[in-house]
Structure 1
Amino acid sequence: MAGSKVEGSNDSRPMQSRVGRKSAVREAWEEAGIEVQIDRDLGNFEEKRPPKTSKDRSRYYFFQGTVLNELAEWPESHKRERGWFTYAQALEVLATRPELQEALNRSNMKRT
């Protein structure tokens, strides 16, 4: 599952989906060091955590993808650790992020 964050956007038109897909591919490479093919749109969700500095909420666009390549080095490898999880493990790791759990639940990831 790959996600992209669009600050303060409430628009889910097809153009947003195309832009979101490109952003999700870029974010997957930057943050996890993986090259992905986007398979399906999982929808968009408003940030559930309280805003840090402004009243505007971020809106996240989520996509399900297939990993094509796992890179040894990537732009944010110095500050992020890549991990692979089962569905149950992912639900547990995302316990404090209901919007991320909702995106996961919309995926067709194997539940066992």
Structure 2
Amino acid sequence: MRRIDVLGIGLAIFVAGGLVYLLLQFIGLDSVEAGIWSQAVLVAGLVGWLLTYLSRALTHKMTFNQQVKDYREAVLQKRLEELTPEELAQIQAEIEQEQQSSAQDSAQTQI
């Protein structure tokens, strides 16, 4: 997120708080009660945003994590495309050999 975006969001929240305050005064609350309730609305919004942020951070569904995952996949794809057919066949043979040895090891542990 760019700095200008952060400033815009901050200004929007500030203006929204003022509008909620004015709306509550228009409804009939005095200035103290309207101030308290407008602050309660803003705090509830902040807590709600914080909970969504924490859930995205804990489940690794944030933009940065997705970018890192996409980058790693692109690097692996590029390396795969750069392999010669001989190197690719050698790697496939090694993978098959490892799979067979792990299958034999798991079969022996079950006995």
Give TM-score scaled by structure 2 length.
0.25
More helix by share: 2
Bigger-Rg structure (1/2)? 2
Q: Which has the bigger relative contact order, CA under 8 A and spacing at least 6?
A: 1
More strand by share: 1
